Structure 1
Amino acid sequence: LDGEAMPVGGVGGTRLCDWWFADEAVLIDTAGRYTTQDSDKAVDRAGWEGFLDLLRRTRKRQPVNGAIVVVSLTDIAAADPVARAAHARTVRRRVTELSDRLRLRVPVYMMFSKADQLAGFNEYFDDLDAEGRGQVWGMTFPLAGGVEAFNAEFRLLLDRLDERVYERLQAERAPDRRALLGGFPLQLASLQGPLADFLAQAFGGTRLDPAPFLRGVYITSATQAGTPIDRLTGMLARSFGVDQKRAPSLKPVAGRNYFLKRMLGEVILGEALLVATGSKRMRRLRLLRIGALGTIAAATLVVSLGLWRAEATNRVAVERADEAIAGYRQQLAGVSLDQVSDDDLPSVVPLLDTARALPREPAGWLAGLFGLSQADKLEAVERSIYHRSLERILLPRLVWRLEQQMRGQIDNPDFLYQATRIYLMLGGAGPLDPALVRDWMTLDWQARFPGVLNAQMREHLAVHLDALLAEPLPAVTLDGALVETARASFSRVSLAARVYGRIRPEASAAAVPGWTPAAELGSAGAQLFTRVSGKPLTDGIPGFYTAAGFQTVLLPRLAGAAKAVAEESWVLGRNDVVPSDEAALRTLERDVVALYAADFQAQWDGMLADLVLAPFADRPAAIQGLYVLSSPQSPMRDLLVSIAQQLTVMPAPPPAPAGQAAGQPGGDAGAEQRKALAAVIGAATPDSAMPAVDALDQHFRPLKDFVGDGQAAPITGVTRLINTLQQELAQLGPDAANVPAALQGSGDPVQLLLAESQRQPAPVARWLQQIAASGQSMIGSSVRHAAATAFSGADGPGQLCKAVVARRFPFSPSSDQDAPLDDFARLFGPDGLFDSYFDSQIRPFVDTSGPVWRLQPVGGVTPPVSPATLAQFQRAAAIRDAFFPSGGNQPQIRFDLAPADDGSGPATLALGGTTIATTGDQARQASLTWPGADGMNPARISFDPAVADGGLTPGGVSAGGGGSIGASGPWALFRLLQQGRLSPSGRPEEFVLAFRSGASQASFTLRAGSSRNPFGKDLLKGFQCPVLQ
């Protein structure tokens, strides 16, 4: 197969089976009758199956590495579809038998030979050298692909042939050879259908009959002999009934073969192991081999480790300890130990981690068998190193950090008191509270090193801190001056403030749940509220500042907190004595409650100021939101009721039942609780005993009264108003025909909500104002949308206005297209489209009392049109008044026309059937009504009576050759007036109409029947249809 090796000899038919031995492979060429089995089927079948069994017995792992199916292109070209299909089915059966018999998925390489028999093949490829003839001409399919890709790949081969045609034609000089090579791509293209059919039937697949493993399709030529087939000439000869000229026979060229070398050597033989990928036997043998080798290796390793570990484990432990300690000391070289002046914890955490990670594993039972274990001694040394590291590296930096914090917060007594406590504990100047130190440091680290990236470092610091606090702390030199400065600062804090500061952190330890808006609003209500600060609704009031916090944390801990503050007198450097007499104790506890009440009020005032309604996205969202807010299960009601409950830190006693005086046995739990509080405070009556609580109750009394109890509570009336607004918005559909009546009456829910907001406490007042503003916006949007929809709808003026006004006379003076009078009357007439639309959609928003109409809001709702648009509606009303003075449904303009007494020359004015002359018997005044019976069509003035009957251009204006000016059409009068000059004479209804043609001129007096007339004004000229969006 190598081009340099000796070529294989022998060409001819195969009788039984030819074996071709080469250095790369063994090729077995079976007789063609084994494939077709058409001579003696039983004998051929037996020979074929015996051959396959022989391969399977002698080559159990890989009986074959592939199968090459060779079919001549001449057979494909010459065979009819029936014979071709039979041949394909035969190939399919043999390939299937090959795979089934050998139990392999054999890759099949389909080779179409004798390509030289196609006319033009030799001429087309005659320029190829040995390397070019050795390339692959065909297609290799993906492993998961198949025959479905043949047509696309074959098309690419044809495209490549077409690309070379021009190059080859230029290189070839012989005309007959140029004709052959030029037609070769078409010769090959004519075989695409037969080849595709053959491959589909031979290698196609179905669900019941999987496709064989077709690896590729290739076209080759081994020897160039025989007579080429010219399929194109043959088809043309058969079509036109002429004799086909037989192509000359080919003369073989020694040593030439096309497209074989690399196909065999690189493609087919290069994939020799491809068949192994599907071999279950090969995979099973490979797994067995790997398993056996693994077992042997594992056994050897176990034995070796057992022998080695007994001697080496203890030595390795010592070496590891020495290496680890040496590495630790190397890290320690760059760290200051004598005088710490920084709190750079991130830089020392790796060092502490190293000290903690020093190896402490036991040496193992093998080393112990021989008494060589040094594990206990090594562990003691390593623990000592780690603890000394904590004392000399971590502790000084914690102390330094506290000193810096104390200096930075010297004016913050509360912070300074707690920091000094921790500082004295770490310095050994006070009893150590590990939990308190741990909490302080953890909070500080969370503030200094926040985020997920620092989480691991914080965890490591916590582990090191626990290890430090687990052993007695060494003596640390503290900054006495700093301690005295701190004591001087927080000593100014009152005893009540310190007691209160001691109780406040205990709320979290008591697990008092906090209050959040989200919990009270529920999932539906949470969509309707938001916070001005941007905080989530799940962020609420700490549990300490709730009714439960007051009752279960503050009151029960008053006495104990005072005692604890006294026990911490070491922080102050003196012994504080908590007053023991009853009056002083009551005063102290009352002061603590007052501090709590101030913080309680600040917390809730902040929350109430922060809660607002979320803006509604659109009208449907507003309708749904207002429905939820006003429903019997209103989340707003639930929220306010919950707030009122939390603001009632002590429930008020109910009225005493009939026959039972107040204070007698039988009162409810709330009364008993108030008695208990009074006993703690030491007062005779609740009102005098709890001034801070009473002041707190009075501060929030308006909100609690608003919530009330029962249907008579103000909140009930407010939800009814919200429901009314919701129904109002629901009635405003997108096709609303009229402005809501409520906008013009006293029942406007928006205005009622605004008025109600003036009477209600915060935050209800703010919420009502938000709802009213949203309602106004939604109503205004609906009004604008309804106005725009009605304007352009079937009953609105929009569509007709565009059809009548756009590029039509008299609105466009230069246009030769007239506006139809009926459409003009329907649009501008009384009760016409403009009138009806204006009355139903816009009139409430317009003040028409002045000469210029002005827009005005209605019920806070912005008008649905702009001032420019309103000006066009006012102009439409002026057109109505001028053209329909009597209120009819057709335009009617009365006017008198008479010759002017100014010495005009002879002229005749003809308006339809009416004629007015400037001289002679017809020089008279005429009373006219436009359009009248004849529409005043045509309208013409003639300066020479001889041409009075001259023609006019249809629908236009004529300045005829006889000194005449005229026009025709329904607007002929106004077209004629446009050709003259119409001048006012001092009165709004009287004008002078003058015409000129060359040297001739004539004047008339035009007197309108009303001062509201279309003469002398640009009512129509330039009128534009209003635009509503």
Structure 2
Amino acid sequence: MKRLFSWLTRAWVLALFGALALALIVWFDGPLIAFNGNAPLESVSSRITLIAIIFVLWAGFFVGKWLIGRIASLKLMQSVAAQPAAADPALAAASPAPPAGDTRSAAEVSALNQRFQEALAILRQARGGRRFGGQYLYQTPWYMFVGAPGAGKTTALVHSGLKFPLADKLGKEAIRGIGGTRNCDWWFTDEAVLLDTAGRYTTQDSDSEADKAAWTGFLQLLKKYRRRRPINGVIVAVSVADLLRQSEADRKTQAQAIRERIKELHERLGIRFPIYVLVTKCDLMAGFVEFFDDLGREERASVWGMTFPVADAANIDQLLATFPAEFDALEARLQSRVLERLQQERDVRRRALIYGFPQQLASLRDLLGGFLGDVFQSSRYEENALLRGVYFTSGTQEGSPIDRVMGALAASFGIDRQVLVANTASGRSYFITRLLRDVLFQESGLAGADLRVERRRAWLQRGAWVLAAVLIVLMSAGLVTSYVRNRSYVREVASQVDAIDAQARNLVPNAGVLSVLPLLDAARDIPGGYADRNGGAPFLMTLGLYQGDKLGSAAQTLYQRLLRQTLLPRVVGRLKEQLRRGEANNPQYLYETLRVYLMLGDPNHFDAESVGAWADYDWDRNLAGHVTDDQRKDLSAHMTALLDHLQDDGPVTLDADLVASTRQALARIPLQQRVYASLLRNLQHTSSPEVSLASAAGRDAAIVFVRKSGEPMTRGVPGLFTRDGYRQFLARRDLAVADVVKDNWILGKDEAVTDPAAVEQLNAQVLELYYDDYIRRWDAFLSDVGIVPFHDLDQAARVVNVLAQPTSPLKKFLSVAAKETTLGDVKQTTLIDTAKGKLDSVKKKLENALASSDDAAPAPAATLQNPVDLHFDSLHQLAAAGAGGASPLDSQLASLNEVFVYLDAANTAKRQGAPAPASDALMKLKQGAEGKPAPLAAMLAGVADAGSSLTLGSERGRLSSLWVANVASFCHQAIDGRYPLVRSASNAVTQDDFGRVFAPGGLIDDFFQHNLMPYVDMSKTRWSWRPFGNVSLGIPEDVLTQFQRAAQIRDAFFSGGGKMASARFELKPVTMDAAVTQFMLDIDGQTLTYGHGPTRSTAFQWPNGKVSSSVRVDYAPPGAGGSSGYSTDGPWAWFRMIDKGVLEPTAQRDRYNLTLDLDGRKVTLELRASSVVNPFNLDALNKFTCPAKL
């Protein structure tokens, strides 16, 4: 996928996609492009020609670009490989040919060429391959290695992990160079070309003239054939050994030499390029190999060093100032790994080297910083270098490490220097691979281009600009001519539009069609408008600024708008005028007029010819003698123009009332609807009585029922939708069909229903409409009936008693409803033949069931033969009498009677102040209502919910009154604002009052057990009220919380079941300050003494049965304040003493640590309660308050 994406993002592929897109546009949209009315791409041949030109240009551009790169690469190959070197003018010019060194210089350059020629022979053979095409040497980035001899440049390349595709063909010596690079090695990789120059080219200290000639000749060669960007970067290699072993003078000499080479690169190549400093042979630092020995292949391939921001490169001095901080960051990173590496290493010698490696690296800080300053420090006479970063590498681990730290210590203390074991070649490389591949090669675009080359390109661009200027002048002249002519045209159009606007403002709204003729003629004749829509424009007007298309389109739009605003309303007005005459017109003419009028509002049936013919007919009949032939022709022409685009702006808004009245006159009503409407009109005064609540439920209806809509009891279902009305409907149906069908000739087409099957189908359709109406009327009536609201238990009991009687209004009402919705036994012989539509599927199922079994029992004459019986079947079953004469409805009346008994008893209990009796009558009633038909289900559920609400509401009032009268008053007097419920209070609750309120069987416990327990769910940690259907007792949850807290207080203080609060516990000394020699605690005569001896537990009982209670603490010696003890008194003396100290719970709920203050000194006692439920640290005691009411 990555390779596919890389291929798709190549320039030639993207350009190919662009060419394809342009070709598609030419092919599909080309015919739409017109110039001066001509479409040059309308023909297939012209489009194919243009598409061919597009692809030829695409191929020519990229093939030409490829040829240019190939030629440049070939020239570069030939030039570099040319023999002898002196034949190259560039090399001859580059060498000053000093008398003493001429032969040596020529030999150096010749050797340089010979080195490259060895690789070119292989490259020429591989040129056809994808990797080494003709443009390889020209387009691939080039990087140059510079550095002193032995700096490790070649070694870094050999062990870089890069792919050298020619290594197997050139041999090992061609790429090894470990013994030193004689002249220059050319390294060809997949990503770049690397130039490994000899170290003497940098220092030029062996034979300066020869080295300089070879160096300058090499630079001229690069410059000649890679003009824009001879190199993409320079890699400066400096060896750790040189930094550590060379004297300061030698280091400065080497730095100056590198600085000179960089300066020459700037001057000779004329570009600014990034420079990467590689500190090589880092394995010669003592501990390097051991410190990084745990790294895997991927970790060794990572980058170790610092990269400077490109934005800071302009100020090289400021950038160099950041080097110490960046170096310290690297050292800190090493320090973070020291402990981990020490733990991994077992060899003592290697551990020592690992431990000292960060210090070894730190010794390079000042040396490397000074070296960088000598090489890159800014100068007003030189180009500032683009320093990108400093990186540390190791190509192969050979030689003896240098221990600079121990060497400095040995020199300082005069001891012998330890000789480190020499490294052996491991075949590993450190921190090189990704440095080259991911850092250097990815920044190949940072190098600038040659300014002189760019100047030549600039001159070419200037020539192009001059040519473009000439073209612009010519185009401008054409534009000016076009502008002048089009400006006159615009003014002429504007003048005519203003005149048309004035005519439109003066137009009389209700004038005849002839009044708009001059306005429409002027709008049609606007230059470039509707009248000129098929003509051409003058050539000089079309030179870029032609406005005829815009203004012509606007003129045509104006003309069409005026047609819709003036001519169309007058035509529509004539149509409506003829329709309003109605029956005064000939029926056929009225029909045609209606048809044309409807066409204007219905695009699906619009017919321009019909509309135009009607308009011509109307004008010929009404304008004869008032219009000339030319005017008549103009009217027809305007009408044609109007009809051509009439539907573009949407249909005309029609007069719905006018259409409805006309359709009624023409009998446009659907046939079955007309039959049914006729029947309703004829039967609306039928003698069948209306079914109402008053008539169906009897005289007690007003006591138990209510109409939800507010309708009176005497209003209900019309008599037409009763059994008697159904009989009359069936009797009159055939006559109504015959009366309506004979009037179908008004429609203007033959829709007469004469076929018996069609007549039968029409009868079924009419009956289906009646059934739907029947069901709708009865559903609305039944859903509107409800039980009267309950206001109190007395009224609720009376209402339910009436409902539960054998003569129940509810039973009467539902029985009448069931009877009047049973139509299956009314004129049964005609139903199977006439009921179609909805009944077909049911009838087929019944017929198939009867035909499938001769032994099947005959179906009762029942009620599953029409939609009404099917819809109300559940109501019929509810009211139907069973074998014993009782119906399912009677069982519901029995449940209502149970509810009446319960409500009556609850009402009696309320009057007597007693609790309501326990009963599940209301719950059973609500459960029994589930699944019952409407409206019984809603009625029974409403009775159950209303009864529950009243009983529970009454019970709450009773309980609240009992609470206030029997508990709340004393509770508030006894405990409000008193200790221990309020810890800061001085007054305390007496033991008797505390027991009377909280003890088992006390005021709160007794009230809860006898009144509230049935209503409370105590199965969870937090108590909650039990729900009763959709209602609840109504007492707030925070009141119930207080009862739960009272229960917790009861269980903690009265675990023995008595009426007096008590607690048993043990105390045991834990710690005591050494300054206290004696401690004694006395609780009602029970003592605990401790003097730093063995600790033991002492049992206590609170209270101890004494009339007065006191607790005293004594200690010796006295404290700084002179006090030797303190005490508390009262019935809660022990709890007040606890409050004076600090009571801390432990992991065990029955144990606490009690710390007492002894005048600045401390003693800690372990308090062990007799149970996990105990009064010590009881949260419920602190939060309890007596509810004022329930």
User: TM range, normalised to the smaller chain?
Assistant: 0.3 to 0.5
Higher helix share: 2
- Taking structure 2 as the reference length, what is the TM-score of the superposition? 0.38
- Taking structure 1 as the reference length, what is the TM-score of the superposition? 0.44
